[in-house]
Amino acid sequence: MVSGKEAGEGIRALILGIYQLGGARLDKEKLRGAIKDERFPRSAAYDPEWMIKNEMGPSAVWLMEFLTEAVELKPGMKVLDMGCGKAISSIFLAREFGVQVWATDLWISASDNLERIQEAGVEDRVFPIHAEAHALPYARDFFDAIVSADAYHYFGTSELYLHYFIRFLKPGGQIGIVVPGLKKEFSDGVPEKLEPYWESEFFTFHSPAWWKELWNRSGLLDVEVADDMPDGWEVWLKWENLARESGLWSREGDVGLLEADKGEYLGFTRVVGRRR
Ligand SMILES: C[S@@+](CC[C@H](N)C(=O)[O-])C[C@H]1O[C@@H](n2cnc3c(N)ncnc32)[C@H](O)[C@@H]1O
């Protein structure tokens, strides 16, 4: 017997196959028009095919643009992009703000990211580092700012992690994360409508209030922002649909989950704090 989730994935794979066979794939120009979003004016300058081919979750570039609305970045600042994946958010940071970025990731090698960084012409400002989040090769107080898009929930949900991580940030510097999250915590387990699509790792998704409390309790920083992206679920769904229609996608999406939820719980949580 196939589960609801597997059946949903089968149908999605079939639809993708039909798109590709039927040539209904969005060409570059149509994709550029469709992906344009007034909420992300900086991102509009980036090649959508490049963004989709190098994505490892809902648009890292959009997420970083949203995050940097709340993090002050000035040219020359030293910035840690933690869990940068294929470093496209790091390239975005260097180009948009003239900062130096240490593009740090575990699953993607430094050599792989260096190729992308060189292609983007920013190898003088973006430095690829292969490292585990609990064993970082940096000096205390080194970074002027730390940012992370769609990654911090993989390693940062424990009470202890911030105590370790914040040492790499200068006192007075900002740390900002944006992660898939919940508008509100579940009051009684996973809602029935989400159950067919729910995977246990989604329990790392939390609300702005949850993250704010975790960070406040540490006593290490002052939380300046804890909110969610307006209509974040629609942004997420738009990305998943466009990525699928482009025919360039390399992962299974969250379309079923988002359509079942219809914005009641899911979206993107943003938290920004300043080290004391
Ligand atoms: C969903 S991907 C997102 C990547 C990228 N930020 C993006 O949005 O495309 C999560 C990233 O978190 C990184 N990550 C997860 N656990 C990690 C750990 N323990 N240490 C360092 N990086 C980690 C992975 O290497 C992966 O690239």
CA distance linking residue 91 with residue 24, whole number of Å: 31
Task: Choose one of 86, 154, 157, 249 to mutate for the ligand 1 pocket test, by most ligand atoms within 8 angstroms of C-beta.
Answer: 154
Task: Give per-residue pLDDT as tens, 75-84.
Answer: 999 999 999 9
Task: Choose one of 56, 160, 179 to mutate for the ligand 1 pocket test, by most ligand atoms within 8 angstroms of C-beta.
Answer: 56
CATH of the domain at 175: 3.40.50.150
Answer whether residue 150 is part of any domain: yes
Q: Binning pLDDT at 50, 70 and 90, where does residue 7 land? A: very low
Task: Give per-residue pLDDT as tens, 143-164.
Answer: 999 999 999 999 999 999 999 9
Range of the domain at 95: 51-243+254-275
Q: How many structural domains does the chain have?
A: 1
Element (DSSP H or E) covering residue 268: strand 266-275
Task: Choose one of 52, 67, 105, 130 to mutate for the ligand 1 pocket test, by most ligand atoms within 8 angstroms of C-beta.
Answer: 105
CB atoms within 10 A of CB 117: 25
Answer whether residue 62 is part of any domain: yes
Taking every pair of C-alpha atoms in the chain, what is the biggest distance, in angstroms?
57
Q: Binning pLDDT at 50, 70 and 90, where does residue 175 land? A: very high
**Residue 2, pLDDT score:** 35
66 touches 41 (CB < 8 A): no
CA distance linking residue 211 with residue 217, whole number of Å: 10
How wide is the angle at C-alpha 164 spanned by C-alphas 276 and 180, nearest 5°? 90
Percent of the chain with pLDDT over 90: 85
Q: Quick check: pTM over 0.85? A: yes
77 touches 99 (CB < 8 A): yes
pLDDT over 50 at 23, yes or no: no
What is the residue with the minimal CA distance to atom 26 of ligand 1? 85
**Residue 24, pLDDT score:** 57
118 touches 87 (CB < 8 A): no
Who lines ligand 1 at CB under 6 A?
55-57, 60, 83-85, 89, 105-108, 132-133, 149-151, 154-155
Task: Give per-residue pLDDT as tens, 28-51.
Answer: 889 999 999 999 999 999 999 999
Answer whether residue 224 is part of any domain: yes
Task: Give per-residue pLDDT as tens, 121-139.
Answer: 999 999 999 999 999 999 9
Answer whether residue 14 is part of any domain: no
Percent of the chain with pLDDT over 70: 91
Answer whether residue 43 is part of any domain: no
pLDDT over 70 at 18, yes or no: no
Answer whether residue 37 is part of any domain: no
